[in-house]
Amino acid sequence: MEANELNADLHCHSDVSDGTLTPEGVAARAHANGVQLWSLTDHDEIGGQHRARRAALELGMPFLSGVEISVTFLGKTVHIVGLGFDIDDAGLRQGLAATRGGRGQRAREMAQALAEVGIEGAYEGALKYVGNPELVSRTHFARYLVEAGVCANTPEVFRHYLADGKPGFVPHRWAALGDALRWIKGAGGMAVIAHPGRYGFSPIEEHAFFTEFKEHGGEGVEVVTGSHRPEEYGKYADMALEYGLYASRGSDFHSPDESHTDLGTLPRLPAKLIPAWELLAERVHTP
């Protein structure tokens, strides 16, 4: 089999961050959907990695460690995926703990901002959906606002309340790009730009982002992701080649009820790209 034909899903979430399934539940669903190489990439948290690895190996599914780190770059939030690192690396754990640290205060400020537009009790409401007290996310607020009848679904909540510039949005300073890359690489992992089509950068900003990412030792970019529209696969395939980056693929699955892309169901990587798993072959845990 050509390496690009592998059904790899290297981006998804469990209830250790803002997904709704347990790490074991995500593993079972990935396996049932035919995933042949799996990574769980919870936001700013690797507390689910040992469970995920155990579940994957019990199912006979090869596993790569994973994380999705929140980074502030040019005033915007971008996400950097780390793959194939040492799960027990102290530097990575400390960096992620520091990054998570601001989330509690931010959540209270978000609730206050929502109260000012007439939505009361959002902090307590969001907490009902939180699986990890250190990882209160906008996603948990979105779930509560749907429950409260404010919006019909979570994308609508983001459009009206939680996206940058909307009433419930609280600006937040995440990790610096160089720090995130240092943590990932210091733990022996590979850094990958997550869903670059999502950030709304101008061409010059995007060039700066890719260039700085490479200067810090970044090696990969997501091309086929549930967070890209199919029209964007071609653009980022070309950018992977232009910048000499390995290509990655992942659903960005969060929940059976919310995610429009299920685990393991995306098109395969275009044949002209070199898949990230070529570089990571020695980091894969096999059953």
Pick from 38, 63, 123, 158 the residue near ligand AMP by CB under 6 A: 158
- Which one, of 59, 39, 58, 34, lies nearest residue 49 by Cα? 39
> How many Å apart are CA 43 and CA 201, to the nearest integer?
22
Residue 70 touches which of ligand AMP, Mn ion, none (Cβ within 5-8 Å per kind)? ligand AMP
> How many Å apart are CA 127 and CA 163, to the nearest integer?
20
Q: What angle, rounded to 10 degrees, do the helices at 49-58 and 23-32 form?
A: 30
Only one of the segments 20-28, 150-158, 172-180, 188-196 lies at the binding site for Mn ion (rule: CB under 5 A); that segment is: 188-196
Closer Cβ to Mn ion, 1 or 260, answer by number:
260
- Which one, of 148, 100, 157, 102, lies nearest residue 124 by Cα? 148
Within 63-82, the residues that bind Mn ion by CB under 5 A are 68, 79
Closer Cβ to ligand AMP, 130 or 224, answer by number:
130
Phi, psi of 238 (to 5 degrees): -65, -40
Query: What's the helix, strand, coil split of the chain in %, to 5?
Result: 40, 15, 45
Residues near 4 by beta carbon (within 8 Å), at least 6 away in sequence: 268, 269, 270, 271, 273, 275
Within 10 angstroms of residue 151's Cβ, the number of other Cβ atoms is: 17
Residue 154 touches which of Mn ion, ligand AMP, none (Cβ within 5-8 Å per kind)? ligand AMP
Work out whether strand 66-73 and strand 37-38 pair parallel, antiparallel, or are unpaired.
unpaired
Does 155 sit near ligand AMP (CB under 6 A)? yes
Within 237-266, the residues that bind Mn ion by CB under 5 A are 252
Shortest spacing between CB 233 and Mn ion, in angstroms: 17
Contact characters 66-105, ligand AMP, x per CB under 6 A: ----x-----------------------------------
Shortest spacing between CB 255 and ligand AMP, in angstroms: 9
Determine the size of the site formed for ligand AMP (CB under 6 A).
Answer: 10
Only one of the segments 132-140, 204-212, 261-269, 276-284 lies at the binding site for ligand AMP (rule: CB under 6 A); that segment is: 132-140
Only one of the segments 34-42, 81-89, 136-144, 230-238 lies at the binding site for ligand AMP (rule: CB under 6 A); that segment is: 136-144
Within 4-23, the residues that bind ligand AMP by CB under 6 A are 18
Residues near 210 by beta carbon (within 8 Å), at least 6 away in sequence: 193, 196, 221, 239, 243, 245
Residue 270 per-residue DSSP state: P
| Number of residue whose CB is nearest Mn ion | 79
Pick from 14, 41, 132, 137 the residue near ligand AMP by CB under 6 A: 137
Within 10 angstroms of residue 117's Cβ, the number of other Cβ atoms is: 12
Closer Cβ to Mn ion, 57 or 258, answer by number:
258
Closer Cβ to ligand AMP, 70 or 251, answer by number:
70
> How many Å apart are CA 150 and CA 203, to the nearest integer?
36
Q: Which residues bind Mn ion (CB under 5 A)?
A: 18, 68, 79, 194, 252
Q: Which residues bind ligand AMP (CB under 6 A)?
A: 18, 43, 70, 137-139, 154-155, 158, 254
